[in-house]
Amino acid sequence: MIEHLVPRILAKLLIPFILLFGLYVQFHGDFGPGGGFQAGVIFAAGIILYALIYGLDRARRVITPGLVAFLVALGLLIYAGVGVATLLLGAEFLNYGALDSHDPVHGQHLGILIIEFGVGTTVAAVMITIFYQFAGRLQITRELESDETDDEDGEEEEMTGSPQ
Amino acid sequence: MSVGEWEALINVVLLGLLLVVTFGIIRLRNLFGVVMLAGIYSLLMAMVFTLLDAVDVAFTEAAVGAGVSTILSLGTLALIDSRREKIPFRFQFTPMLVALVTGAVLLWGMQDMPAVGTADAPNQVHVAPYYIERTPVEIDVPNIVTAVLASYRGFDTLGEVTVIFTAGIGVMMLLSSMPVIGARRRRRRNGDDQENDT
Amino acid sequence: MIYGVAALGLLVAMLFAIIRALLGPTLMDRVMAVNMFGTKTVLLLAVLGYLAGRPEFLDLALVYALMNFISIIAVLKYFRYRDLGQSRVRS
Amino acid sequence: MMDWTVIASGVLVISGALLTIVGAYGTLRLPDIYTRLHAASITDTLATFLVLAGLAVPSLVAGEWLIAIKLLFVLIFLWFTSPIASYSIGHAAFFAAQKPKLDHDLTDAEGGTA
């Protein structure tokens, strides 16, 4: 796709806006429509657009599959970690009021912000993962086929084709 | 006409369009066309949700429908051979009967339901007043939906995130390249003598 | 009132787009109908926000305006390469 | 109360909606994908501008700058993204080996000369 000039240039212009809008939806969810789930999907869509335009290999260099797999787990851990933290502070599981000992309302604000961030992280990472796996599958299939026919060729492709 | 009447009229038109698109999806025998019509369906649903004042749901529908669902469907189509899906359209009596009876039962059951937006409907008087009254005091965020989703029903949302997490892990395990490449390496390592077989 | 009339006009245009999507005849006609439908959705969401007196709906219109074309680019890539993960021009 | 903001806003929005209908009707009548694309994308610019400008008038008069700026962003993004979409559809149609219908391909009913 990189040889298509018009989508490439305009995508270069628009991807920052998509990512910024994702962050706006993420942190503006308390005030207007939106929240972690929507923000994660929008953010992932920006990355997917990059992968579509510049190719999967370059996208995988920017956001490595290892990092994405880490983020998938991290978001859920943030969410559950907040619950454990409130347990340790002496309140019920996920009762954010305990996060601030002076002002429970402020604790609620903080808790909602953190768990929405966790939700956004997991959703964005899962969406990117699903896209990576679906889009990268044909490459693997081709490699396997070329491997069966010509073993010497397969050796080289493995270096470039295998994910980090 | 008042605003409410206009909204009702637009709602009826949107639902009619939804019906047309649904029948189109059923009749279409081409998977790519079905993916495209499903995109239109998603856009229509976002507008219906907006008219029902469910802005957060509409937002989710918008983000997923515009952003990723079509792309993931196309990714799936690229993996399978979509041109082979020539299913002949033929009328089948029993499924039609079951669908008609189920629809009739649902319509009959709808008689007892309160009208959309009725203030004294059971779902409006159960916990909703509590949320509306207590949110400014206890949580103090302007968007009550966020307060309910993230705080009052935080445990439920934790479960939803776990579902998404599981989906991601499942796709990773099913489609990931790691096991395949590992198997190939193994095969190559101990398969020098079997090279003639392949 | 005016916004209601405008919304009905946009709905008529949407009906035309759906007819085009259902009739085809080629796949690209359907893709074009979806794209056209997306643009009209942005406009209708904005008009609905004003009709209901809640211009916060504009966030929704903004999402569609920003992201509706991504799926169309995926369609181009699908038709051109049959592979959404394609990276460079094959020699 | 029919003051000038309502009239200006109404005229702009209604004319935009009319143009949208004309463009959508064009996609029904025109014979092949390339001409239909022309009809679909020509409404994306002017009709979009008219509708969104009509919506912006009352907000600007009322001094709600945030809403007007959001409308402006919607307009700008639509102006950026719909040409990409049209370009992509045209290219995809070309790669799908669709030939444009020329004059001698058309029947009389479609407005051809042959």
Enclosing domain of residue A16: 5-148
Is the CB of residue D78 less than 8 Å from the CB of residue D44? yes
Instruction: Return the domain boundaries, chain D.
Output: 4-110
Q: Is residue A155 part of a domain?
A: no
Q: What is the pTM of this model?
A: 0.86
Q: Cβ contact (<8 Å) for C26 and D21?
A: no
Any CB–CB contact under 8 A between A53 and chain D?
Answer: no
The residue whose two tokens read 């990117």 is A128
Q: How confident is the model at residue D110 (pLDDT cuts 50, 70, 90)?
A: low
Q: Name the A residues in 19-58 with CB < 8 Å from any C CB.
A: 21, 25, 32-34, 38, 42, 45, 48-49, 51-58
Tell me whether residue B171 is in a domain. Answer: no
pLDDT digits (tens, 9 = 90+) for D35-52: 888 888 877 888 899 999
Q: Which pair of tokens denotes residue B177?
A: 């390249």
Q: Hey, are the CB atoms on D91 and A4 less than 8 Å from each other?
A: yes
- Residue A16: predicted pLDDT: 93
d(CA A74, CA A133): 19
pLDDT tens digits, C23-77: 878 888 888 899 999 999 999 999 988 888 877 778 888 888 888 888 888 888 8
Residue A18 lies inside a defined structural domain of this protein? yes
Quick one: A66 exposed, middle or buried, by C-beta within 10 A (0-12, 13-18, 19+)?
Answer: exposed
pLDDT tens readout for residues B21-66? 999 998 887 888 888 899 999 999 999 998 888 888 888 888 888 7
Total domain count, chain B? 1
Contact C67 A1 (CB under 8 A): no
Cα–Cα nearest to A42, from A31, A66, A26: A26
Scanning every residue of chain B, which has its alpha carbon at the shortest distance from the alpha carbon of C62? B62
User: Is A157 inside a domain boundary?
Assistant: no
Q: Which of D5, D13, D10 is nearest to D59 (CA)?
A: D5
Alpha helices in B3-150 (DSSP H): 3-27, 31-51, 55-63, 70-79, 93-109, 122-125, 128-138, 144-147
Average pLDDT over residues D82-107: 78
Helix (H, G, I), strand (E, B) or coil at C25: coil
**A159 band by pLDDT with thresholds 50, 70 and 90:** very low
Which chains contact C through at least 3 pairs of Cβ atoms less than 8 Å apart?
Answer: A, B, D
Report the CATH number at residue B90: 1.20.120.1200
Q: What number is the ipTM of this complex?
A: 0.85
A130 CA: distance to closest CA in chain C (Å): 12
- pLDDT tens, A34-71? 788 899 999 999 999 999 888 888 888 888 888 999 99
State the smallest CA–CA distance between residue B143 and chain C in angstroms.
12
Number of domains in chain A: 1
- pLDDT tens digits, one per residue of B59-90: 888 888 877 898 998 888 888 865 655 666 67
Evaluate whether residue B71 is within a structural domain: yes
> If you average pLDDT over every residue of chain A, what do you get?
83
Percent of chain B with pLDDT over 90: 24
The closest alpha carbon to A86, from B130, B160, B164, B155, belongs to B155
Residue A156 lies in a domain: no
Is B156 part of any domain?
A: no
Select the more confidently predicted residue: B105 or A144.
Answer: B105
Mean pLDDT of all residues in A136-150? 75
Mean pLDDT of C1-5: 84
Chain-chain contact of B141 with A112 (C-beta, under 8 angstroms): yes
Q: How far is C91 from chain D (nearest CA, A)?
A: 18
- DSSP secondary structure string, B173-184? HHH-HHHHHHHH
Cβ-proximal residues to A45 (8 Å cutoff; 6+ apart), any chain: A18, A22, A127, B63, B66, B67, B68, C67, C70
Give the DSSP letter of residue D100. P
Please report, rounded to a whole number, the percentage of residues in chain D having pLDDT higher than 90.
Answer: 19
Is D65's Cβ below 8 Å from some Cβ in A? no
Contacts of B167 in chain A (CB under 8 A): 126, 130
Task: State pLDDT tens for residues B132-178.
Answer: 888 888 878 888 888 888 888 888 999 999 999 999 999 988 887 65
Q: How far is CA B146 from CA A117, B55, D42, D90, in A?
A: 13, 11, 40, 42
Does C56 sit within 8 Å of B10, measured CB to CB?
no
Answer for the pair A134, B76: CB distance below 8 angstroms, yes or no.
yes
Q: Which residue has the higher pLDDT, C1 or B86?
A: C1
Please report, for chain C, the start and end positions of each structural domain, with discontinuous segments joined by +: 2-81
A154: left (phi over 0), alpha (psi -120 to 50) or beta: alpha
Provide, as residue numbers in chain B, all residues whose Cβ is less than 8 Å from the Cβ of C70: 66-67, 71
pLDDT of residue C19: 92
**CA distances to A15, A32, B128, B148, D110 from B132, in Å:** 38, 16, 6, 10, 60
- What average pLDDT does this structure show over D66-95? 88
What mean pLDDT is reported for chain B? 82
What is the per-residue pLDDT for B88? 67
Give a yes or no: residue B168 inside a domain.
Answer: no
**Cα B14 from Cα B24, distance rounded (Å):** 15
Q: What's the pLDDT score for residue B32?
A: 85
